Structure 1
Amino acid sequence: MRLNESTAVSTTKVLLVPYKRHHVPTYHSWMEDPAIQEATASEPLTLDEEYENQASWRASHDKLTFIVCQPLSSAPAHVSSIPAGGPDAPERMVGDVNLFLYPDEEDDDEAPDSTAASPRFCVGEVDIMIADPRHRGKGLGRAVVQAFLQYISRNLDGLMQEYAQDKDMPTPPRLRLLMAKINQGNAKSIALFKSLGFEQEGGVSYFGEVKLVLRALSTFAAELPEGYAELVYFRSSQAKDELN
């Protein structure tokens, strides 16, 4: 999405930055790992294809993406902006987190006379990957999801407006719920989302996934991550075009 193209999210435990071109080589190296391909149900891509994906995701109005990085060394309270290519250098990148927005299938059931051009609701799917194994099992995933949900909560109107404008909707829809689809064998991820208020809906799917849902959207901001701040993310005058 365009919404976060100049915004970074910082807490004492994690830094989230918009997915930019200079992140692609590291991201591509992660996605060459067969285990990550299996966990994310992804097909291997060439580096050129990965660059095309990055550009597509940035322009997409229904996909919000941040690259997960190690936290800033300076206290977020004393920082108002960060330059691209510094705090998010390749050695500081550890994963990504995404929100996918979809039409709400329940709209048709509840309001048969509604049109596809003006749905009342949409739903969001949250997806997180800690690609660097050195940073797994340390509570980073929880810190990432908390910061991400906080950002969604604070910027929900902008999210819905961008989603609606792209689809020529006269009125932005409301976000009915958030969901996460997790492999049934990934007990740690299931426990993580449940600890943040998500509840399992239904059984295990045909694809071996568990669907966890958060309907009480007011719980987004129930717990403010320590040091939470939204910072200006900019390209310095010395940066090369590859940072775009």
Structure 2
Amino acid sequence: MSDPDIQEATASEPLTLEEEYENQQSWRTSHDKLTFIICHPLPASSETKLEAVQAGEVDAPGQMIGDINFFIYPDDDDGDDDEATQAAAEGSYVGEVDVMIASKDHRGKGIGHAAVTALLTYVHRNKERIIAEYVEGEGKSGEGKMPELKGLMVKIKEKNAASIALFRRLGFVQKGVANYFGEIKMVGQFSAVKATKEYREIVYSR
């Protein structure tokens, strides 16, 4: 994340190595987000069907090219604290998608699009389990009916044309104008967002 262009496009701050390690440790324990490392795509082969991959090989450090995150928030719509409190009480939540491809050499090749569609497919298939873990982490288990993950959103720098185009292709639409920080908000519904139907799950061997 030392590339100034990436920091600008993702609205990120440079982190020390210690801060990076702290972030990695939090990935496994945070109840309000999912984080996945994006690795080089597996080689396509029409002759053989890959059934399993080996840990430490397909996801070795040299294979890692980015990350993708999914954050869960009370659906405050316009960022109002009172609305956020009411939304949480009513069980209305929204998921924010954040994707980063580190090297310019790996951009423009469809990797970001593939990562987002894979994430949305995973979230759609596991919505109930994801929201249940969030509610438990917030200490609200057993309080009435199970909340719903109702919508999706993404915040993008208004000059980041590539990311805007990516999410438009996936069915997201812009809501409002750019904020003070030069970010636009794009929103989508699970029923409208175009998640992939062409995928295959394989065994991850440790």
TM-score by length of 1: 0.73
1:71 aligns with 2:41: yes
1:125 aligns with 2:99: no
Paired residues, number: 199
Query: Take 1:125 and 1:84, find their aligned partners in 2: how far apart are those partners?
Result: 28
Q: Which moved more, 1:67-76 or 1:141-150?
A: 67-76
Q: Which moved more, 1:135-144 or 1:184-193?
A: 135-144
Which 5+ residue runs of structure 2 have no aligned equivalent?
Answer: none
Query: Take 1:193 and 1:92, find their aligned partners in 2: how far apart are those partners?
Result: 25
Q: Which amino acid aligns with 1:218?
A: S
- Change in Cα spacing, 1:100 to 1:111, as seen in structure 2 (3 Å) is closer
1:160 aligns with 2:131: yes
Query: Take 2:5 and 2:39, find their aligned partners in 1: how far apart are those partners?
Result: 21
Query: Take 1:87 and 1:110, find their aligned partners in 2: how far apart are those partners?
Result: 41
Match of 1:50 among 20, 38, 58: 20
Q: Which amino acid aligns with 1:56?
A: S
1:229 aligns with 2:200: yes
Indicate the RMSD between aligned Cα atoms, in angstroms.
2.6
Query: Take 2:84 and 2:155, find their aligned partners in 1: how far apart are those partners?
Result: 24
Task: Indicate conservation of the 8 Å contact 1:184/1:210, yes or no.
Answer: yes
Q: Which amino acid aligns with 2:22?
A: E
Which 5+ residue runs of structure 1 have no aligned equivalent?
Answer: 1-30, 236-244
Superposed CA deviations along residues 189-240 of structure 1, whole A, max 9, x for unmatched, are: 111111111011001111111110003x12356541x3x12344343xxxxx
Percent sequence identity over aligned pairs: 53
3-state SS in 1 of match to 2:191 = helix
3-state SS in 1 of match to 2:28 = helix
1:198 aligns with 2:168: no
Matches within 5 A, 1:176-195: 176-195=150-169
Give runs of ≥4 in structure 1 deviating > 4 Å: 74-77, 106-112
Match of 2:69 in 1: 98
3-state SS in 2 of match to 1:230 = coil
Q: Which moved more, 1:163-172 or 1:200-209?
A: 163-172
Task: Indicate conservation of the 8 Å contact 1:150/1:220, yes or no.
Answer: no
- Change in Cα spacing, 1:119 to 1:95, as seen in structure 2 (3 Å) is same
Task: Indicate conservation of the 8 Å contact 2:175/2:186, yes or no.
Answer: yes
- Change in Cα spacing, 1:200 to 1:220, as seen in structure 2 (3 Å) is closer
Q: Which amino acid aligns with 2:200?
A: A
Match of 2:29 among 56, 59, 63: 59
- Change in Cα spacing, 1:173 to 1:69, as seen in structure 2 (3 Å) is same
3-state SS in 1 of match to 2:165 = helix
Superposed CA deviations along residues 153-203 of structure 1, whole A, max 9, x for unmatched, are: 111111111111111222432112101111111111111111111011001
Matches within 5 A, 1:139-154: 139-154=110-125
TM-score by length of 2: 0.85
Of the two structures, which has the highest relative contact order with CA contacts closer than 8 Å and spacing of 6 or more? 1
